[in-house]
Amino acid sequence: MFDALGSRLRASLQRLGGRGRISEADLEAGLAEIRTALIDADVALSVTDSLIASMRTRAHDEKVVGGIGSGDRLVAIVHAALTEALGGSGRELDLRERTASILLLGLQGAGKTTTAAKLALRLLRDGRRPLLVAADPRRPAAAEQLALLGAAIGVPVHREPIGTPVAEIGRRALESAKKLGRDLLIIDSSGRTTLDEELMRELADLRAAVNPRERILVLDAATGQQALRVAEGFKEAADPTGLILAKLDGDARGGAALSIAGGAGIPVLYLGTGERPEALERFHPDRIAGRILEMGDLATLAEIVRDAGGDPRAPVATKSGSGAPKGEMTFSDLLEQLRKMSSMGPIGQIVKMIPGMGGVAAQAEEAVAAGELKRAEAIILSMTPTERENPSLLSIPRRRRIAAGAGRAIEEVNRLVKRLEEMRLLIRRTGGIDPARLAGGGGGLPGKHAGGYIRPKEDRKAK
Ligand SMILES: Nc1nc2c(ncn2[C@@H]2O[C@H](COP(=O)(O)OP(=O)(O)OP(=O)(O)O)[C@@H](O)[C@H]2O)c(=O)[nH]1
Ligand SMILES: [Mg+2]
């Protein structure tokens, strides 16, 4: 989702970092390039300008001009400026009350109902007992949609007959939550095309009835900078405590996220990255900045693996098996990963979170589209368990038999073996995906440590 912006920024940084010494003029030229990249990615002008100003100040404070080997420091400076613009240390939902409540608000079609279900699922997994509340007094279809989503994720939905005033819906939902032993209300309010008086009155009534500590504005990131204006309108009228950017998967340029997070003055809490109830990501400014600069985001990757039913503490890519050198990846590991990937959604998004793998993401997307995962799975399943653990046993006759068993050409088997070798090499080079880092979180600054950012040039030189 930050492809275009990320690759432009990285190109500018690489050009600058490639110089022995950076002069004042180099720095200004680089900042001008970064500014154009931000504007082209649809980042709001005001946000762009304050970002550039912050980068300039940081560069001067760190005495980058005239210094030697400033490439890494520049990356760190841009990372820090982006992190700050995206909201600094970030914020979590405040759900300490005995019966906490979250009111979701936003324009029509922004993604409120979908997001209500996503939040319910996430907080359910965190050990809360949510109750979804359909608070659209006019549209029967709205409650119907929420009821279906609630049934799909196993969360009860409170609804009232059409025409019930929202304040009444809110009060009864609170009572019902207490009766049912639910400790969290997630209220899906009705959407309208504009922030008109009736909507403002409804929101005020709901607030008076339920007094939700969290009032979360859901914005459609696909509308780009328009979303920033919507946020400003709601800020005056409804005093939102946080933002959720829905449909960020549709924002290829990534400008909306930066514009909104940097310009609205309301913290972003989550990102919606798809239509499925699982497609909700916590928003961590430093991790997002790291992803834009392609430093990789292992912490988020670990969360996705955990949500897909994997073990976040298990090393993602290495496991020692019989016959395989300790710590080397085997076909059994690969098979396990292929299966997890198919349950995780768009694979490109995932691959991009692995440090240094950003460029492979597009290839990975193609592979999925072409059914390559399924075919690879079939080939691996045609191997004997011993072969899966030890690919060196795969002689030509065995490869031929495996190909026949999977109904594929032998070239495909050869390619898969080669792929495994490449992955082993990559893992060896990056020091693997360190379980401690996976469990501990953290975005990872430029490659001072294993598993961090891989500088493409050095990467090529290594080995
Ligand atoms: N791709 C993508 N689609 C999304 C996302 N969130 C919501 N949608 C889709 O956007 C459309 C509108 O979502 P809703 O949740 O119904 O929006 P709403 O704000 O409740 O709409 P109203 O109740 O009519 O105001 C639906 O088709 C959703 O599937 C997202 O993060 N990514
Ligand atoms: Mg809705």
pLDDT digits (tens, 9 = 90+) for 24-33: 888 898 899 8
Which residue owns the Cα nearest ligand 1 atom 10?
A: 111
Over its C-alpha atoms, the chain yields an Rg (Å, rounded) of 25
* Residue range(s) defining the domain that contains residue 157: 100-292
318: pLDDT strictly greater than 80: no
Q: Cα–Cα distance between 244 and 106 in angstroms, integer?
A: 10
In a domain, 95, yes or no: no
What pLDDT score does 10 carry? 79
Residues 309 and 288 in one domain: no
In a domain, 332, yes or no: yes
Residues 280 and 309 in one domain: no
* Total domain count, the chain: 3
Domain CATH code at residue 361:
1.10.260.30
Question: Ligand 1: which of 189, 275, 281 to mutate, most ligand atoms within 8 Å of CB?
Answer: 275
Higher pLDDT among residues 320 and 258, named by residue: 258
In a domain, 60, yes or no: yes
Which residue owns the Cα nearest ligand 1 atom 14?
A: 111
Residues 284 and 302 in one domain: no
Higher pLDDT among residues 323 and 274, named by residue: 274
Q: Cα–Cα distance between 55 and 81 in angstroms, integer?
A: 6
What pLDDT score does 317 carry? 42
For residue 134, the ligand closest to its alpha carbon is: 2
Residues 286 and 348 in one domain: no
* Type of residue found at 82: L
In a domain, 358, yes or no: yes
Residues 61 and 165 in one domain: no
DSSP state of 265: S
- Ligand 1 centre to CA of 112 (Å) is 6
- Ligand 1 centre to CA of 110 (Å) is 6
Give me the phi and psi of 206, to 5 degrees please. Answer: -60, -40
- Ligand 1 centre to CA of 365 (Å) is 24
- Residue whose token pair is 């022995």: 20
Q: How confident is residue 367, by pLDDT bands cut at 50, 70 and 90? A: low
Residues 370 and 401 in one domain: yes
Single residue among 242, 259, 292 that ends a domain in this structure:
292
If one counts every other C-beta atom within 10 angstroms of the C-beta of residue 425, the result is 12
| Dihedral angle over CA of 309, 271, 360, 85, nearest 10 | -130
- Ligand 2 centre to CA of 203 (Å) is 14
Residues with CB under 6 A from ligand 1: 106, 108-114, 142, 191, 246-247, 249-250, 272-275, 279
Q: How confident is residue 348, by pLDDT bands cut at 50, 70 and 90? A: low
- Ligand 1 centre to CA of 115 (Å) is 8
Question: Ligand 1: which of 103, 105, 113 to mutate, most ligand atoms within 8 Å of CB?
Answer: 113
Question: Ligand 1: which of 104, 112, 114 to mutate, most ligand atoms within 8 Å of CB?
Answer: 114
- Of 58-72, 131-145, 148-162, 180-194, the poorest mean pLDDT is in 58-72
Residues 152 and 249 in one domain: yes
For residue 116, the ligand closest to its alpha carbon is: 1
DSSP state of 68: B
What pLDDT score does 337 carry? 73
For residue 149, the ligand closest to its alpha carbon is: 1
In a domain, 105, yes or no: yes
If one counts every other C-beta atom within 10 angstroms of the C-beta of residue 52, the result is 16
pLDDT in tens, 254-308: 678 888 888 888 999 999 989 999 999 999 888 888 877 766 555 565 565 556 5
Single residue among 292, 321, 336 that ends a domain in this structure:
292
Residues 234 and 200 in one domain: yes
**If you write DSSP's letter for every residue of 85-117 in order, what string do you get?**
HTTTT-------STTEEEEEE-STTSSHHHHHH
Residues 342 and 437 in one domain: yes
Which residue owns the Cα nearest ligand 1 atom 29?
A: 275
Residues 39 and 63 in one domain: yes
What pLDDT score does 182 carry? 96
Higher pLDDT among residues 321 and 141, named by residue: 141
435: pLDDT strictly greater than 50: no
In a domain, 387, yes or no: yes
Q: Which of 60-64, 130-134, 188-192, 302-306 has the highest mean pLDDT?
A: 130-134
**If you write DSSP's letter for every residue of 395-414 in order, what string do you get?**
-HHHHHHHHHHHTS-HHHHH
**If you write DSSP's letter for every residue of 308-369 in order, what string do you get?**
TT--TTS-SS----TTSPTT---HHHHHHHHHHHHTTS-HHHHHTTSTT-GGGHHHHHHHHH
Residues 202 and 270 in one domain: yes
In a domain, 186, yes or no: yes
Q: What is the mean pLDDT of residues 12-16?
A: 78
Higher pLDDT among residues 146 and 194, named by residue: 146
Mean pLDDT, all residues of the chain: 80
Q: How confident is residue 402, by pLDDT bands cut at 50, 70 and 90? A: very high
Domain CATH code at residue 264:
3.40.50.300
pLDDT in tens, 197-251: 888 888 999 999 999 999 999 999 888 888 888 999 899 888 999 999 999 887 6
* Residues lying with their CB under 5 A of ligand 2, a single-atom ion: 112-113
- Residue whose token pair is 């497609």: 279
146: pLDDT strictly greater than 70: yes
Domain CATH code at residue 63:
1.20.120.140
Residues 266 and 136 in one domain: yes
For residue 119, the ligand closest to its alpha carbon is: 1
In a domain, 129, yes or no: yes
**Three-state SS at 284:** coil
The closest of 424, 425, 394, 399 to 413, measured between CA atoms, is 399
**Three-state SS at 267:** coil
Single residue among 259, 292, 325 that ends a domain in this structure:
292
For residue 114, the ligand closest to its alpha carbon is: 1
The closest of 295, 285, 278, 345 to 117, measured between CA atoms, is 278
Q: What is the mean pLDDT of residues 386-390?
A: 89
- Ligand 2 centre to CA of 216 (Å) is 14
Tokens of 412: 């495909």
